[in-house]
């Protein structure tokens, strides 16, 4: 099975996935209102069409991320996040998907890192109760260094919980002393999945893999060196038609 996935928000994602015989990562429930009772069945049907259209043998779900913040002080706010993620889990069960990307929910202007880490351990332990055949990948967004995510996964100590390193987010948000290649070295085999897109370092631009300040070939080299051999990659750029064959070629020749 191909280790390459294409995010369905990318232009012509389903078509490009089929052309290149790669997999897809579904983005349809990133916005949580698509899980509401009046939308749920329609959303499921649309995702089934994407899976069939792509001819995908492998599928990853991207879970909802709007207003899901493990460090929230109001317990009702935190409960809402758990509820939304459980709705996403139900969608995964219906579609026979057993892997889902979730955002770390770190809000640097609101919460101290120590508080976020402590509350995140509780949040993800609670969420994974009873989900035996299910894996989540916690993704960095506003995280500015890798150590907190490393500490989180180590504290959880659960083979069902891995990291998704979004290299574009890290390139835009990271402290100067932590370039993306250093993130990969520090996090190592805790990374189960990558989100790949490029930017110039000034913001989250989701450019094509070859268009930005990140050396994507070096990222693949680091992944091959420091991560498990079964680590997977989602192209998460707005444009994927050129990026998909480029990544296939790189992975086949590294």
- pLDDT tens for 193-240 read 999 999 999 999 999 999 999 999 999 999 999 999 999 999 999 999
Question: Which residues of the chain are under the pLDDT cut of 70?
Answer: 1, 254
> How many angstroms separate the CA atoms of 196 and 215, rounded?
11
> How many angstroms separate the CA atoms of 104 and 152, rounded?
10
What pLDDT score does 13 carry? 98
What pLDDT score does 253 carry? 78
What pLDDT score does 204 carry? 95
What pLDDT score does 254 carry? 66
Task: Tell whether pTM > 0.85.
Answer: yes
């Amino acid at each position: 099975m191909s280790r390459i996935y294409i995010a369905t928000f990318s232009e012509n994602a389903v078509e490009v996935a089929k052309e290149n015989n790669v997999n897809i990562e579904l983005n349809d429930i990133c916005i949580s209102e698509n899980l509401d009772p009046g939308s749920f069945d329609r959303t499921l049907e649309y995702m089934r069409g994407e899976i069939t259209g792509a001819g995908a043998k492998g599928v990853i779900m991207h879970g909802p991320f709007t207003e899901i913040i493990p460090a929230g002080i109001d317990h009702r706010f935190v409960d809402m996040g758990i509820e939304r993620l459980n709705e996403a889990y139900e969608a995964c069960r219906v579609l026979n998907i057993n892997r889902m990307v979730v955002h770390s929910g770190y809000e640097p202007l609101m919460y101290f890192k120590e508080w976020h880490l402590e509350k995140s351990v509780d949040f993800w332990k609670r969420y994974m109760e009873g989900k035996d055949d299910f894996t989540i990948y916690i993704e960095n967004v506003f995280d500015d260094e890798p150590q907190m995510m490393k500490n989180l996964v180590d504290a959880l100590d659960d083979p069902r919980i891995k990291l998704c390193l979004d290299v574009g987010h890290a390139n835009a948000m990271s402290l100067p002393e932590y370039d993306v290649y250093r993130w990969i070295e520090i996090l190592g085999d805790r990374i189960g999945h990558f989100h790949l897109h490029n930017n110039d370092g000034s913001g989250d631009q989701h450019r094509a893999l070859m268009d930005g300040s990140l050396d994507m070939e070096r990222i693949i080299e680091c992944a091959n060196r420091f991560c498990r051999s079964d680590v997977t990659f989602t192209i998460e750029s707005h444009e994927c038609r050129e990026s998909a064959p480029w990544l296939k070629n790189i992975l086949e020749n590294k």
